[in-house]
Structures are given as structure tokens and as C-alpha cells.
Amino acid sequence: EDKTVNELEPTVAKVADLKLTHPERVVFPDAGLSKADVADYYRKMAEPLLAEIAGRPLSVLRCPDGIEGEHFFQKHRGKGMGEHVHTVPIEEKNGSSDYLMVDSVEGIEELVQMNAIEFHPWGATAKKPDQCDRLVFDLDPANDLPFKRVIEAARMLRDRLKSLNLESFVRTTGGKGLHVVVPLSPAADWDAAKDFAHALASACAKAEPNRYVDVASKARRNQRIFIDYLRNSRGATSVASYSLRARPGAPVAVPLRWDELGRLDSAAKYDAQSAPSRFKRLKRDPWDGFDRCRQSLTAALKRLD
């Protein structure tokens, strides 16, 4: 008799077909979340996550022994990955190399089965890996810097970008900082993307040297925010919106409307529970208009000179 229920709900039955080994394995000890909970999270959030990662070369952070065990980033297909985990050949200096790519719920679930917790796409599609279609300014605050300062940094960047006629969008990372993301259509060569991002980060550091630095060195960061422009190069990744983070509390990277920043008190505000409930309540995409932005770096680069 139970079968009848399953037949009425083919998607449920289908998902149940996916084999999840060790569903009881503890992944987030402090939040009390198991591998089955992680799979549940990604099943619920597959649609918005796919909007971020489908068709892009992808790295995943795998944590076979939970977030307190050893982690590793993986960008190539590994043993035991399911049939929905695809690869895309990417030209590199010493020949071509196969990068991971998924475009389905099944693909996500198969990576979760391999203990993937975090999803990190390129700022380029697999079809055009040489063209950057989204810039990411990754705001990395020094330890103990009040979060308010990170919000100010994001707004400052938004204003600067606006003055260059570039619209931008903001997300929490689930960690310590925020990402300011700029869609590019038409896309840009990686050289242009990197030069532009570096130039803008340097301009901020020059204008407010007590607040911003454009070098990664932690020693130089002292009470300041590193405007990490290094996400903008071929092969670099940034965490996807709606990815879980392998950090205490099971936080999630979440896209926000700019007018929500005022009420935000932490980049780890949303977690495996609250991110899906927020998503369900949304009346429209906080990044509404992202895909419709028609803006390129060509004009902006000239203005910046």
C-alpha cells in the first residue's frame, strides 16, 4: 500500500533512490547535523544552488570526517563519483584537464554522497572558460573588526562600482565577510577582469589606507579589510550562494538585497535551518535583475584610468 503513495509522488521516490551511505555520520557536531541532514538541505535548496553552479567548472570542499576532520578542495572527478557528476575539459598550460561540473539535483546529491559540503564555481561558464561573466570582490576583514565595517566596505564598493555604471549584488559568505558580485554581460577576458578588480581594490586602499588593503598578507591587515580581488582570475573560485559552509553552526552563503545590510550583524547569520526558511518566504529573488544586467568592463576600465 505504501507503494501507491510513492507512485503519486515520483520526485520523492526518485530522490529516495539515491544511495546515501552512512546517513547517520555526524558532519556538524556542534549543530548536530548528519550526512542525511546535509543531503536534505541540498535537496531542498538544489534549485537556487543550481542557478549558481550549473554549467560552470566547479570545486567542492569535501569533508569525509565531518567539519572537524580533514578537508580538501577537489576540482577534478574522483573515484566513486556518480553518473550525474560531469566533467568539462579545460585547457591549461600543460594540456587539457577535466573539471567537475553538475547541472542537476542528482549531480548535487552524488557529490554530497562523496561528502561534499561546499560548492565553489568559477566566474565563467564551461562553454566560455576564458570569459569572466561575474566579478567577485571578496571582503576579508581582520580578526575582531566590527562587522559594521564590513558592511560599510560593501556599500563603499557598491557606490564606486555605480559611479562606473556597474550594478552590483551582495551576499554573506557564511564566514566572516561579504562578497560584492558584479555580473558582466558581455563577459570580459580574464586579464581585463583581474586588472579591473585589482585597480579598484588599490583605489580603495589608496583612498582610505586606514580601512582597506589590497595585499593578502595577514600582517598588513591589522584592523583593516583586505579587498580580495584575487577571485577574479582564470581557475579561481568563490563560494556559491546557498552553499553550506564547513564551519561551526552550519552557516550558509546567502544573497541579500542591499537594503537588508543595515539589519545584518554577521556574515554567518543564516544557517542550514534559517537559510531555507528565508528562501521559502522570499517573494522575489534578492538578486532580482542579476541576469538581466547588460554591463561590460570596457567602458568601466576607461573611466577608471
Stretch that binds ligand ATP, among 50-58, 94-102, 175-183, 257-265 (CB under 6 A): 175-183
| Minimum gap (Å) between residue 298 Cβ and ligand ATP | 26
| Minimum gap (Å) between residue 11 Cβ and ligand ATP | 30
Which phi and psi angles does 116 have, rounded to 5°? -70, 130
The site map against ligand ATP for 137-156 (x = CB under 6 A) is -x-x----------------
- The DSSP symbol for 8 reads H
d(CA 211, CA 153) in angstroms, rounded, equals 9
User: By CB under 6 A, how many residues form the interface with ligand ATP?
Assistant: 15
Regarding 228 and contact with Mn ion (CB under 5 A), the answer is: yes
| Residue 238, binding choice from Mn ion, ligand ATP, none, Cβ under 5 to 8 Å by partner class | ligand ATP
52 vs 110, which CB is nearer to ligand ATP? 52
Please identify which residue in 113, 115, 232, 237 interacts with ligand ATP, judged by CB under 6 A: 237
CB 49 within 8 A of CB 243: yes
Which is nearest to 280 in space by CA: 289, 270, 290? 270
d(CA 238, CA 257) in angstroms, rounded, equals 19
CA dist 196 to 24, 291, 296, Å? 47, 21, 11
> Which grid coordinates belong to 155?
556599500
- The DSSP symbol for 210 reads T
What is the pairing mode between strands 212-213 and 225-228? parallel
| Minimum gap (Å) between residue 174 Cβ and ligand ATP | 7
Please identify which residue in 111, 182, 193, 239 interacts with ligand ATP, judged by CB under 6 A: 239
Please identify which residue in 14, 16, 73, 92 interacts with ligand ATP, judged by CB under 6 A: 73
Strands of the sheet containing 212-213, edge to edge, are: 212-213, 225-228, 131-141, 178-189, 169-172, 255-256
40 vs 140, which CB is nearer to ligand ATP? 140
Regarding 175 and contact with ligand ATP (CB under 6 A), the answer is: yes
| Minimum gap (Å) between residue 16 Cβ and ligand ATP | 32
The DSSP string of 183-209 is EEEEEEEHHHHHHHHHHHHHHHHHH-T
> Which grid coordinates belong to 137?
570582490
| Side chain identity, residue 156 | M
- The DSSP symbol for 145 reads -
Please identify which residue in 109, 140, 214, 271 interacts with Mn ion, judged by CB under 5 A: 140
| Residue 269, binding choice from ligand ATP, Mn ion, none, Cβ under 5 to 8 Å by partner class | none
Please identify which residue in 113, 168, 173, 241 interacts with ligand ATP, judged by CB under 6 A: 173
| Minimum gap (Å) between residue 129 Cβ and ligand ATP | 16
Which is nearest to 114 in space by CA: 35, 14, 33? 35
Please identify which residue in 267, 272, 297, 300 interacts with ligand ATP, judged by CB under 6 A: 267
Which phi and psi angles does 170 have, rounded to 5°? -125, 145
Query: Which positions from 154 through 213 interact with Mn ion, judged by CB under 5 A?
Result: 177
Nearest residue to ligand ATP, scored by beta-carbon proximity: 175
| Minimum gap (Å) between residue 233 Cβ and ligand ATP | 11
Interacting residues with ligand ATP (CB under 6 A): 59, 73, 120, 138, 140, 173, 175-177, 228, 231, 237-239, 267
Interacting residues with Mn ion (CB under 5 A): 138, 140, 177, 228
